[in-house]
A = this chain, B = another copy of it.
Amino acid sequence: MTPLETVNEFIRRMTDMDLDRACELVTGDVEYDNVPMGKNHGPEGIQEILGPMVDALDEVEWIIHNETASGNLVMNERSDRFRLGDKWMTLPVAGVFELNDDGKITLWRDYFDVGTFNTEMARLMEQP
């Protein structure tokens, strides 16, 4: 797989809510950087952040609007969508990925607005 194909396969596994298979595509020391929130490391860092979210949600869909790649660098522009019951939330995200020469993801850095994330997540979790 090219770096771009690997990133897209990673996102496919994420949206299948299959974190274990997604994490097969990252290195043991991957840096997972949610820019305004902070960094986590390793597949266990990804699982720690996203595991509880995936467990709580009913469906995940990330729409890729634009993507570019240059060497081992991939950037994409996404609408990350999450469903709980019959409610959806959408988070606009720009992502940066770096891969090593073995085709594994060593860096995943997402740019987004924390206020949007918190407001939308609260609306999603609200009891009807």
Interface residues of A (CB under 8 A from B): 35-36, 66-70, 73-75, 77, 92-96, 109, 111-116
Contact = CB atoms under 8 A, between A and B. Distances in A.
A96 B77 contact: yes
Tell me the interface secondary structure of chain A in the complex: strand
Contact of A68 (B36, B68, B93, B111): B68
Q: Tell me how many chains of this kind the complex includes.
A: 2
A94 B66 CA distance: 13
The interface centre, meaning the residue of A35, A67, A69, A116 with most chain B CB atoms within 10 A of its CB, is A35
B77 A68 contact: no
A52 to B, nearest CB: 22
Nearest to A112: B111
Contacts of A35: 92, 113
B66 A73 contact: yes
A111 B96 contact: no
B75 A94 contact: yes
A35 to B, nearest CB: 5
A113 to B, nearest CB: 4
| Max count, chain B CB within 10 A of own CB: residue among A69, A94, A95, A114 | A94
